[in-house]
């Protein structure tokens, strides 16, 4: 074994320490710059949010799916872009969880509106690529958890639930996932979302 010194990078994650403030930061700025360049999105106009709540995405037609291409969207390019975004989301970007989870549902049959949604996420990353998670001791709301559900948000009318848990000022666990059954009310969707959060707590 070889001692390479203090850890500064690991699998695309950048680790920083400010010992005087007892602070640790995690970021993926260099990785995000690489995926922006790889997909030709480095000059995209920055967006304020990663997704448009007023747009409901849908699957393309079965005929277009059989051709492996839909409405000018290259299937391999779409899947590569979504996979790159997913790694950023899993590493240090809980703010991407809902948007990336939504576009990933169409990996097998994307339409032009799905590709527009993916480009919007890249645009959001252009303006936020240097954001980081910070863990320290000087926080007022250092520990806790949050759960929410978007009733009937899926293209199949299933709801999407999500949660995030915070420790020492930074998120340590997060998810945005389609619920397995169709709830009949917003309350039922919220209860199902809280169930997933409770299981994560345990």
What confidence score (pLDDT) does residue 84 get? 95
Q: Copy the structure tokens of residue 88.
A: 């950023």
> Of 97, 118, 138, which closes a domain?
138
Examine the domain organization and report whether 131 and 31 are in the same domain.
yes
| Cross-sheet strand order for the sheet of 170-178 | 144-150, 160-167, 170-178
46's CB contacts (< 8 A; 6+ apart) are 123, 124, 126, 127, 128
Residue 63: band (very low, low, confident or very high) from pLDDT cuts 50, 70, 90: very low
**CA–CA separation, 35 and 80 (whole Å):** 10
**Is 158:182 a contact under the CB 8 Å cutoff?**
yes
Shared-domain flag, residues 98 and 162: no
Band (pLDDT 50/70/90 cuts) for residue 128 is very high
* Mean pLDDT of the chain, nearest integer: 86
Residue 61 has pLDDT above 60, yes or no: no
Same domain, 112 and 184: no
Phi-psi region of 168 (alpha: psi -120 to 50; beta: other; left: phi over 0): left
* Domain end point (choices 105, 138, 171): 138
Pick the last residue of a domain from 97, 112, 138. Answer: 138
Pair 114, 14 in one domain: yes
182 with 95, same domain: the answer is no
**Burial (CB count <10 Å: 0-12, 13-18, 19+), residue 87:** middle
Q: How many domains does the chain have?
A: 2
Q: Which domain holds residue 176?
A: 141-202
Beta-bridge mates of residue 170 = 167
Residues 128, 83 share a domain: yes
Within the chain, where are the H helices? Answer: 29-38, 62-67, 75-91, 97-104, 112-128, 186-201
**Entry pTM:** 0.82
Six-digit token string for 94: 């809980």
pLDDT score at 141? 60
Whether residues 147 and 106 share a domain: the answer is no
- Contact status, residue 87 vs residue 102, Cβ threshold 8 Å: no
Q: Examine the domain organization and report whether 4 and 100 are in the same domain.
A: yes
Which stretches does DSSP call E strand in 9-79? 9-10, 13-18, 23-27, 69-70, 73-74
Residues 131 and 145 in one domain: no
Across residues 97-123, what is the average pLDDT?
Answer: 90
* Pair 120, 149 in one domain: no
Q: Residue 16: left (phi > 0), alpha (psi -120 to 50), or beta?
A: beta
């Amino acid at each position: 074994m070889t001692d390479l010194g203090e850890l500064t990078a690991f699998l695309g994650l950048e680790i920083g320490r400010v010992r005087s403030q007892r602070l640790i930061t995690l970021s993926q700025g260099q990785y995000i710059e690489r995926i922006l360049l790889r997909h030709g999105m480095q000059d995209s106009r920055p967006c304020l949010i990663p997704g448009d709540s007023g747009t409901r995405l849908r699957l393309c037609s079965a005929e277009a799916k059989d051709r492996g291409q839909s409405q000018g969207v290259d299937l391999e390019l779409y899947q590569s872009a979504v996979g790159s975004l997913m790694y950023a989301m899993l590493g240090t970007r809980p703010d991407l969880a809902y948007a990336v989870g939504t576009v990933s549902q169409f990996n097998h049959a994307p339409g032009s509106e799905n590709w527009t949604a993916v480009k919007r996420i890249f645009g959001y990353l252009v303006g936020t690529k240097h954001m980081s998670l910070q863990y320290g001791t000087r926080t007022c709301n250092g520990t806790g958890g949050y759960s929410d559900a978007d009733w009937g948000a899926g293209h199949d009318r299933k709801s999407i639930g999500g949660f995030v848990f915070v420790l020492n000022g930074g998120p340590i666990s997060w998810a945005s996932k389609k619920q397995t059954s169709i709830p009949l009310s917003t309350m039922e969707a919220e209860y199902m979302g809280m169930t997933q959060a409770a299981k994560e707590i345990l």
